[in-house]
Amino acid sequence: MKRGFIKRKKHKIVNLKKFISFILLMFTITIVSIIFFVKNNKVYSSTYKVNYNEVLIGEGDTLWDIAITNMPDKYDARKMVYEIMEFNHMKDACILPGDLIKVPIKHNSK
């Protein structure tokens, strides 16, 4: 045996039609997966622009208090806290004095 020579096993395609179908299926699954994960972005439009108030956080303020102060009548405070956190891309409800957060303006539905 010569040095540096690697003997490779040869493969034979028995059914070319099945092989091509398999390759096309794998290619399609890969492309669909890539599109699904890459297309995870939000579409913004001036028609759906959300108005907001900027709130400067003071000593002792909590998101709960800010939500209750800025939410419409008969609105769930938990939902308002969640919406404030989503709007500001917050991972938790921790706020510090001096922070500036945006609070989406909600109107009473009739």
What percent of the chain clears pLDDT 90, i.e. is strictly above it? 54
pLDDT at 10: 81
Angle at 90 (CA atoms; ends 86, 92), nearest 5 degrees: 115
User: pTM of the entire structure?
Assistant: 0.53
Helix (H) or strand (E) holding 78: helix 77-87
What is the Cβ-side half-sphere exposure of residue 73, based on CA atoms within 13 angstroms?
Answer: 3
Q: Confidence band (pLDDT; 50, 70, 90) for 12?
A: confident
> What per-residue confidence (pLDDT) applies to 31?
93
